[in-house]
């Protein structure tokens, strides 16, 4: 073989190899360019997310609209009131809505009846005193009796036995404490006005003077509140046992002021009663100490970590909180997750309202369908909006506590009952400024617990409270004798 032919034979594989390597290098260059473009896109997206997160943490993000009472737990009193519409036709009509049933005061058996008969004829002046008439007009007027205190003075006599000469002194009546200047009814009225109607010490002292002519100092009012705390303590502990023995409870907490420092008022409530206590701690140990070894089956609460850390096995998250948070995500621009989940929750709550009117099989079918749809929405593709993504990840973490109210008829969908139980305490804090002593906070918690439990039982509040501290009320008139 000639040298030129030999060179060509060796060169052709080398050229083919070089062409192959060049093609592979070109493909790798193309992949590198694509990877660089993807990295640039991801870096840009990450920079946008970082800027958005920084703006949100600073509280001035361009996409963060201010929260309202409809999108958060912000109370309506802290919102800026909107301006009224200048067009009267678009203004909301005042008064009850259309179809609202009217109510009027019903007649009650009168305490005093006054009869009025015409004395003389208005035309001719004839005497009408002996003319029997018929009832033409009738009207009732409710009036208070003269506001004057009843001073009960008990005289205990001593007598000497004619046989042995021993001295015998009559004991005080049952329920009468000779060491107390103010009776149980007056002390309960002071506690009722202060704890339940949020009347402060100075205003309460002036109110007693203005209405009843009772000159009672603020120090005497404080002593009366202290005595009521001891008198209601047994009933307070009984309320705690009622709540612990319930199958389904709701729990919540709010801030209180005690001795100038922030503390926390906890509440655990059920259909049987409402139990409050005030403590410096907001940790989950408070619930563990309260429940002890007697645990309910289900606990309804918000998603605060201390509430979720309680020893109760089954939990139901408050769907009212979720609806507000989902609405906030919608207003921040989420169009993928929040709206769909919010609609599912609203349908589920409406289904529970119709539970009694549906066959159990139909209700179970609809409830199962809603849970499957919720799972599909919650575990589907993640929302691109940061707010929607946060709500979606919340569902993925709490799905086991999301639909318990569909499985059990005795479990509510919201924790509104706990929030309503705490609302008077928030008002009390704002009106009075808090408590000046630890025992004052404990006295308030015990009184409110007993009172709200009596409210759930439908009892006459003041009469029932008075019967707990003094079943033998000397200020009441004695029952008439049969003789």
Q: pLDDT 10s per residue in the chain (483 long)?
A: 455 665 667 677 777 788 888 888 888 888 888 888 889 888 888 888 888 777 766 654 445 667 777 777 777 777 766 665 556 666 667 777 777 887 788 888 998 999 999 999 999 989 988 888 899 999 998 888 888 888 889 999 999 999 998 999 999 998 788 888 898 899 999 999 999 999 999 999 999 999 999 999 999 999 999 988 888 999 999 999 999 999 999 999 999 999 999 999 999 999 999 999 999 999 999 999 999 989 999 999 999 999 999 999 999 999 999 999 999 999 988 999 999 999 999 999 999 999 999 999 999 999 999 999 999 999 999 998 999 999 999 999 999 999 999 999 999 999 999 999 999 999 999 999 999 999 999 999 999 999 999 999 999 999 999 888 877 665 554 444 333
383 vs 177, 379, 388, CA distance in Å? Answer: 70, 10, 6
Instruction: Say if residues 248 and 270 touch (Cβ distance below 8 Å).
Output: yes
Stated as kind and residue range, the H or E segment containing 48 is helix 3-58
Instruction: Say if residues 246 and 271 touch (Cβ distance below 8 Å).
Output: yes
Residue 206: CB atoms within 10 Å: 12
Residue tagged 């605060």 (tokens):
304
| SS3 at position 263 | strand
Sorted by sequence, the CB contacts under 8 Å of residue 384 that are 6+ apart come out as 336
The dihedral sign for the CA sequence 70, 71, 73, 74: negative
Task: Identify the bridge partners of residue 299 per DSSP, sorted by sequence position.
Answer: 249, 315
The Cα–Cα gap between 256 and 267 comes to 12
255's tokens: 């801030």
Helices (H), 173-217: 184-191, 201-212
With b for 16 or more beta-carbon neighbours within 10 A and e for fewer, the 401-427 pattern comes to bbbbbbeeeebbbbbebbbebbebbee
| SS3 at position 450 | helix
Model confidence, pTM: 0.77
The Cα–Cα gap between 389 and 329 comes to 9
């Amino acid at each position: 073989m000639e040298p030129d032919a030999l060179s060509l034979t060796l060169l052709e594989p080398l050229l083919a190899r070089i062409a192959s390597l060049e093609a592979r290098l070109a493909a790798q260059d193309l992949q590198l360019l694509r990877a660089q473009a993807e990295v640039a896109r991801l870096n840009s997206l990450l920079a946008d997310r970082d800027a958005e997160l920084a703006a949100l943490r600073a509280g001035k993000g361009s996409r963060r609209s201010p929260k309202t009472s409809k999108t958060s737990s912000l109370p309506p009193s802290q919102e800026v009131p909107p301006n009224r519409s200048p067009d009267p036709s678009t203004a909301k009509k005042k008064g009850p809505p259309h179809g609202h049933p009217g109510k009027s005061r019903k007649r009650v058996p009168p305490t005093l009846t006054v009869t009025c008969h015409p004395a003389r004829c208005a035309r001719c002046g004839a005497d009408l005193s002996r003319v029997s008439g018929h009832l033409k007009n009738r009207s009732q007027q409710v009036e208070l009796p003269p506001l004057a205190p009843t001073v009960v003075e008990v005289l205990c006599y001593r007598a000497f036995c004619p046989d042995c000469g021993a001295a015998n002194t009559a004991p005080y009546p049952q329920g009468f404490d000779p060491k107390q200047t103010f009776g149980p009814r007056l002390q309960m009225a002071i506690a009722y006005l202060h704890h339940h109607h949020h009347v402060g010490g100075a205003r309460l002292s002036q109110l007693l003077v203005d209405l009843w002519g009772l000159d009672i100092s603020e120090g005497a009012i404080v002593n009366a509140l202290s005595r009521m705390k001891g008198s209601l303590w047994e009933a307070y502990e009984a309320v705690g046992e009622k709540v612990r023995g319930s199958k389904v409870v709701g729990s919540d907490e709010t801030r209180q002021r005690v001795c100038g420092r922030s503390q926390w008022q906890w509440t655990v409530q059920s259909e049987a009663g409402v139990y409050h206590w005030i403590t410096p701690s907001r940790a989950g140990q408070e619930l563990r100490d309260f429940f002890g070894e007697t645990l309910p089956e289900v606990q309804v609460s918000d998603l605060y970590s201390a509430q979720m850390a309680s020893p109760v096995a089954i939990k139901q998250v408050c769907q009212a909180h979720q609806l507000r948070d989902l609405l906030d995500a919608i207003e921040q621009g989420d169009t993928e997750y929040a709206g769909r989940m919010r609609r599912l929750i609203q349908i589920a709550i409406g289904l529970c309202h119709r539970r009694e009117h549906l066959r159990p099989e139909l209700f179970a079918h609809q409830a199962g369908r809603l849970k499957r749809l919720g799972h599909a929405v919650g575990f589907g593709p993640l929302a691109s909006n940061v707010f929607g993504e946060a709500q979606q990840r919340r569902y993925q973490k709490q799905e086991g506590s999301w639909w318990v109210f569909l499985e059990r008829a005795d479990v509510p969908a919201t924790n509104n009952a706990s929030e309503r139980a705490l609302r008077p305490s928030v008002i009390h804090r704002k009106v009075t400024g808090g408590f000046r002593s630890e025992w004052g906070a404990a006295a308030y918690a015990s009184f409110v617990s007993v009172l709200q439990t009596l409210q759930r039982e439908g009892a006459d509040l003041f009469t029932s409270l008075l019967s707990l501290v003094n079943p033998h009320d000397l200020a009441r008139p004695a029952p008439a004798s049969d003789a």
